[in-house]
């Protein structure tokens, strides 16, 4: 695994414009960065990332199985009681999942260590599935990269296929897509998913989360009063379950993407549960609930809120004192503690690997860099290749 400097494509901004990639630069800071790329060997990809990703996902599903059968665990996961049964129901019918992203610390050797599972609302999907794919294509076409250079990235292909599967499962071919207003990045991610679903032959109307309505039969509606049968929402379950319309979620009989049972996986309480169930697994870091943290024998630990996005409210503790922290609005539902394992550094950058799953199949990786040990939403995205 190397970080190699690279000549940015001369016309890439223009290209981004024509493909609708509008968040490559934000607040004057580059987000998409093609002045360098990461190079992996096929063995590193398959043995150290792809296989563990598939295995860890299966381990996560075993945790779901445990949690949905145990009310005490549901409570530990801070899931509101009215959703315990519906979550179990959605798991029991195996309501289909679309995608997830596992975040790993990995430096090219040894075992990739799992930081967390973004199972409900992962972003950086468009950059991964499409934009870095196009980058490689262009680089190869212009002879700046070897013809046999490959990329671990079958995201788009798999997403299209999984949309077709989900449509079949629900016997539904109109999928609504939603995200919040005023966020270019989320809108771009959702547009990409709409494009993939459209490739699968579906109708893909869009509605903002804030515009969703409820009709007299208790079904959700879009801004044009069309009933919503199936909804992809880039909006966290833990928010929806606690908001005003949360009480209609169950009776509305909406087909949800991601399904309700993903609330168990997109929850940091997953990490101590994984450690309890698969203690010593080489891809896991020791992790503990608040009342068990005395079992953690590592002097340096990371404290993470049960619900958190993009590194917000994460702090690094050295002998119980805060060594580094990122502020944010999360934490009221409690914290978990994970043994500290630093991100590897490449040319002064801290590098985080996101490993994608579509349903239960590994589907590619994304590489993000940050100048800080805690990767936040202003980290940069770099493309990668497989060679050798």
* Footprint on residues 259-318 left by another protein (CB under 8 A): 309-310
Q: With binding defined as CB under 8 A, does residue 357 bind another protein?
A: no
Site for another protein (CB under 8 A): which residue of 12, 169, 170, 245? 245
Closest CB to another protein among residues 17, 35: 17
**Which of 44, 90, 153, 162 touches another protein (CB under 8 A)?**
153
Among 33, 48, 127, 185, binds another protein (CB under 8 A): 185
Q: State the nearest-atom distance from the C-beta of 240 to another protein, in Å.
A: 6
Residue 83 in contact with another protein, rule: CB under 8 A: no
Q: Specify whether the CB–CB gap between 258 and 236 falls below 8 A.
A: no
Q: Which of 90, 221, 283, 355 binds another protein (CB under 8 A)?
A: 221
Closer CB to another protein, 55 or 199, in the complex: 199
d(CA 99, CA 183): 21
Q: Which stretch binds another protein (CB under 8 A): 73-81, 83-91, 233-241, 296-304?
A: 233-241
Report in angstroms how near the CB of residue 351 gets to another protein at its nearest. Answer: 18
Residues shown for the chain: 388
Q: Which is nearer to another protein, 292 or 310 (CB)?
A: 310
As measured in angstroms, the least distance from the Cβ of 224 to another protein is 6
Torsion angles phi and psi, residue 211, rounded to 5: -90, -10
> Residue 358 burial (CB < 10 Å; 0-12/13-18/19+)?
buried
Task: Find the distance separating the first CA and the last CA of the chain, reported in whole Å.
Answer: 11
Please name which of 237, 250, 267, 286 lies closest in space to residue 333, comparing C-alpha atoms: 267
Judged by CB under 8 A, the residue of 88, 112, 234, 382 near another protein is 234
Residue from 186, 187, 117, 189 nearest 159 by CA: 189
Binding pattern for the stretch 23-62 against another protein, x by CB under 8 A and - elsewhere? x--xx-x-x----------x--x-----------------
Binding mask 99-118 for another protein (x = CB under 8 A): -------------------x
Report d(CA 326, CA 319) in Å as an integer.
Answer: 18
Please select the residue that binds another protein; options are 106, 175, 256, 330, rule is CB under 8 A.
Answer: 330
Q: Tell which one of 5, 18, 58, 347 touches another protein (CB under 8 A).
A: 18
Strand positions, DSSP E, 21-122: 25-26, 29-30, 36-40, 99-105, 113-118
Phi and psi at residue 338, in whole multiples of 5°? -130, 135
CA–CA–CA angle 266, 249, 181 (5° rounding): 70
Site map for another protein, 125-144, x if CB under 8 A?
Answer: ----xx--xx-x--------
Strand 384-386 vs strand 230-233: parallel, antiparallel, or unpaired? unpaired
Could you write out the DSSP letters of every residue in 238-287? HHHTTSGGGGGTTTTTPEEES-GGGGGTSSTTHHHHHHHHTTT-TTPPPE
The token pair at 294 is 């005395």
Q: How far is the CB of 291 from another protein (least distance, A)?
A: 26
Rounded Cα gap, residues 365 and 101, in angstroms:
9
The size of the interface with another protein (CB under 8 A), counted in residues, is: 82
Q: Pick from 224, 297, 319, 347: which binds another protein (CB under 8 A)?
A: 224
Q: Which range binds another protein by CB under 8 A, 56-64, 75-83, 148-156, 286-294?
A: 148-156
Residue span binding another protein (CB under 8 A) among the ranges 149-157, 275-283, 294-302, 343-351 = 149-157
Host H or E run for residue 51: helix 51-68
- State the Cα–Cα distance between residues 193 and 213, nearest whole angstrom: 22
Q: Which is nearer to another protein, 78 or 221 (CB)?
A: 221
For the bound state, the minimum distance from the C-beta of residue 183 to another protein, rounded and expressed in Å, comes to: 5
Mask: binding to another protein, 366-385, rule CB under 8 A, as x and -? -----------xx-------
Cα angle at 329 between 326 and 334, to 5 degrees?
90
Residues 213, 229: Cα–Cα separation, whole Å? 13
Site mask for another protein (CB under 8 A), range 162-181, x = bound:
-----------xx----xxx
């Amino acid at each position: 695994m190397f970080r190699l400097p690279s000549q940015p494509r001369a016309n890439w901004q223009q290209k981004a414009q024509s493909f609708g990639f509008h968040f490559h630069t934000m607040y004057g800071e580059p987000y998409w960065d093609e002045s360098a790329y990461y190079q992996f060997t096929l063995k590193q990809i398959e043995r150290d990332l792809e296989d563990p990703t598939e295995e860890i996902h299966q381990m996560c599903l075993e945790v779901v199985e445990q949690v949905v059968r145990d009310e005490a665990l549901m409570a530990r996961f801070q899931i509101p009681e009215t959703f315990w049964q519906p979550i179990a129901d959605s798991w029991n019918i195996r309501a289909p999942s679309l995608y997830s992203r596992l975040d790993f610390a990995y430096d090219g050797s040894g075992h990739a260590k799992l930081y967390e599972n973004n199972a409900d609302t992962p972003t950086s999907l468009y950059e991964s599935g499409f934009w870095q794919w196009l980058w490689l294509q262009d680089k190869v076409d212009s002879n700046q990269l070897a013809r046999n250079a490959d990329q671990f990235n079958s995201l788009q292909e798999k997403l299209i296929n999984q949309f077709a599967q989900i449509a079949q499962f629900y016997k539904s071919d109109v999928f609504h897509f939603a995200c919040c207003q005023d966020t270019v990045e989320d809108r771009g991610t959702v547009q990409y998913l709409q494009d993939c679903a459209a490739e699968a032959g579906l109708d893909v109307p869009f509605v903002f989360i804030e515009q969703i309505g409820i009709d007299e039969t208790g079904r959700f509606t879009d801004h044009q009063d069309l009933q919503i049968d199936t909804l992809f929402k880039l909006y966290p379950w833990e928010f929806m379950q606690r908001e005003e319309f949360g009480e209609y979620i169950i009776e509305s009989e909406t087909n949800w993407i991601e399904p309700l049972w993903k609330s168990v996986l997109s929850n940091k309480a997953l990490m101590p549960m994984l450690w309890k169930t698969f203690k010593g697994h080489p891809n896991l870091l020791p992790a503990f609930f608040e009342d068990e943290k005395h079992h953690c024998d590592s002097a340096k630990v990371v404290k993470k809120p049960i619900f958190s996005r993009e590194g917000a409210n994460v702090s690094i503790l050295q002998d119980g004192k805060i060594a580094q922290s990122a502020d944010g609005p999360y934490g009221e539902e409690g914290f978990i503690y994970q043994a500290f394992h630093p991100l590897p550094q490449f040319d002064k950058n801290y590098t985080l690997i996101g490993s994608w799953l579509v349903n239960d199949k590994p589907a590619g990786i994304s590489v993000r860099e940050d100048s800080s040990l805690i990767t936040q939403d202003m980290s940069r995205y770099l493309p990668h290749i497989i060679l050798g």
